[in-house]
Amino acid sequence: WQSALLSLGAAHAQMGHGAEALRALDECVRLAQAHCDEECLTHALAAACALLADDPAKALEHSALLARCRRRAYELGMPAVAAFAELSLARACLRQAAPPPPPHRAADAAGEELPR
């Protein structure tokens, strides 16, 4: 079910229905947590972050979700999602004129690379 909700959220986002997309992604996060589907959960967080990126009223929520998404992506070895989260965090800091967040320990550890 959680994969179907992730797809539904993406479809709503593609059609410009942001509120419906966020509702589907919120339900996807809940189901993924209940079923211990870490990869689906991480993708749902990334999709929610992408939807919240352009809403200045939700900047704090967006930053918290991005940090959570980044941490999970590194823990699960998901380089594409980790890169998305890193770039989105940098963009959010530039928009808010905030200092950059510290790098994730896996991103700056000497010799440690994300699995491909």
Confidence (pLDDT) at 107: 54
Spatial CA neighbour of 89 closest among 58, 57, 56, 64: 64
Q: Which residue has the higher pLDDT, 115 or 80?
A: 80
104 domain-assigned:
yes
pLDDT confidence band for 103 (50 / 70 / 90): low
Q: Give per-residue pLDDT as tens, 85-96.
A: 888 888 887 877
Give how many domains the chain has, as a whole number.
Answer: 1
Confidence (pLDDT) at 53: 79
Q: Give per-residue pLDDT as tens, 10-69.
A: 999 899 998 999 999 999 999 998 999 988 988 888 888 888 877 777 777 777 888 888
pTM score, two decimals? 0.71
The token duo for 62 is 């967006």
pLDDT of 116 above 60: no
The token duo for 49 is 């972050």
Q: Which domain holds residue 85?
A: 2-108
